[in-house]
Amino acid sequence: MSFKEQIDSSKIPQHVAIIMDGNGRWAAQRGNDRIFGHEHGVEAVRAAIKAAAEIGVKHLTLYAFSTENWNRPKFEVDALMTLLVRVIKSEASELNKNNIRINVIGDRNSLPPKVAGEVEKIESMLSQNTGLNVILALSYSSKWEIINAVKSIASDVKKGKIDTQDISQELFDSYLSTANIPDPELMIRTSGERRLSNFLLWQLAYAELYFTQKLWPDFDKEDFWEAICSFQNRERRFGKTSDQIKKPNIK
Ligand code: FPP
């Protein structure tokens, strides 16, 4: 039986986040340069988007480029930016046909103007769609995002817009770039690494973590659905006991 057939459609996570890792190693295994791996990674991005949309996931966050990735060799950074622009342009009408939205989170000011412009164009072109919301984390890091939120909250306290007493988890959520988006229930990382790498640190507080040895360019729809099956077989306790989860009437 395929993994897709094993999925319980009443327990689909609303939000799945993915750290797409292993493009460089995939290319090296084939005696090619890292860019070759990123180019093949695009096929896996398509597969993940389709797999998520087909089972009714509402939000899919993809870690496409971290703040730390700016430290990679210039030719790799440039190639990744060029690839992003090319993919955004070439996929726009297909995404639109499939009722998919795109939202970019991250430090837009640090993006080359060409990339920032294309990002804005595709976001507005797809903004009325009501299907899967693909959140691209681009020049993103969680610590950057959290510091920004803290600065904005401090500034609003200073202006008298909010009171220190109003600062709650919900208020903090509303200052993050993921405001109004439910926290991911499942985080997938490919390539065998078991780290969060500065990705959605606040939002992943209660996420189930799923690690696979597969390198990103090899990750396909069945791999995505296998992760969903693993998620559905876990008991999510949120600090409670197993008995409390199984028998909700127990106090
Ligand atoms: C990590 O592999 C991957 C990246 C830093 C870039 C991800 C980009 C893509 C999948 C292509 C385009 C994306 C979109 C959204 C169109 P790595 O380079 O760290 O691999 P390694 O750990 O094996 O060196």
- pLDDT single digits (tens) 180-221: 999 999 999 999 999 999 999 999 999 999 999 999 999 999
Range of the domain at 65: 13-232
**How would you class 230 by CB atoms within 10 Å of its CB: exposed for 0-12, middle for 13-18, buried for 19 or more?**
middle
pLDDT above 90 covers what percent of the chain?
93
Q: Does the residue 251 lie in any domain?
A: no
235-to-9, 240, 246 alpha-carbon distances in Å: 17, 11, 9
Q: Does the residue 87 lie in any domain?
A: yes
Q: Cα separation of 246 and 229, whole Å?
A: 19
Pairing mode, strands 133-140 and 101-105: parallel
Count structural domains, the chain: 1
Nearest CA to ligand 1 atom 7: 64
* pLDDT value of residue 77: 98
Residue 23: CB within 6 Å of ligand 1? yes
Q: Does the residue 174 lie in any domain?
A: yes
Q: Which atom of ligand 1 is nearest to the CA of 88?
A: 16
Q: pLDDT tens-digit profile of 116-163?
A: 999 999 999 999 999 999 999 999 999 999 999 999 999 999 999 999
Instruction: Say how many Å lie between the CA of residue 156 and the centre of ligand 1.
Output: 37
212-to-49, 65, 192, 208, 215 alpha-carbon distances in Å: 18, 20, 6, 13, 8
Q: Does the residue 29 lie in any domain?
A: yes
* Residue 76, token pair as written in the block: 């790799």
Residue 136: CB within 6 Å of ligand 1? yes
Tell me the pTM: 0.94
Q: Does the residue 40 lie in any domain?
A: yes
Q: Cα separation of 239 and 241, whole Å?
A: 7
Q: Cα separation of 65 and 20, whole Å?
A: 10
| Angle of helix 74-97 versus helix 34-55 axis, rounded to 10 | 30
Q: Does the residue 182 lie in any domain?
A: yes
Q: Does the residue 245 lie in any domain?
A: no
Q: Cα separation of 107 and 138, whole Å?
A: 7
* Residue 192, token pair as written in the block: 């065998």
Q: pLDDT tens-digit profile of 113-125?
A: 999 999 999 999 9
Q: What is the mean pLDDT of residues 30-48?
A: 98
* pLDDT value of residue 15: 98
Strand, coil or helix: 66? strand
Going by pLDDT thresholds of 50, 70 and 90, the confidence category of residue 248 is confident
* pLDDT value of residue 218: 98
Burial pattern 100-116, b for ≥16 Cβ within 10 A else e, equals bbbbbbbbeeebeeebb
Q: Does the residue 105 lie in any domain?
A: yes
Q: Which atom of ligand 1 is nearest to the CA of 26?
A: 23
Instruction: Say how many Å lie between the CA of residue 49 and the centre of ligand 1.
Output: 16
Residue 204's domain is classified under what CATH number?
A: 3.40.1180.10
Q: pLDDT tens-digit profile of 79-92?
A: 999 999 999 999 99
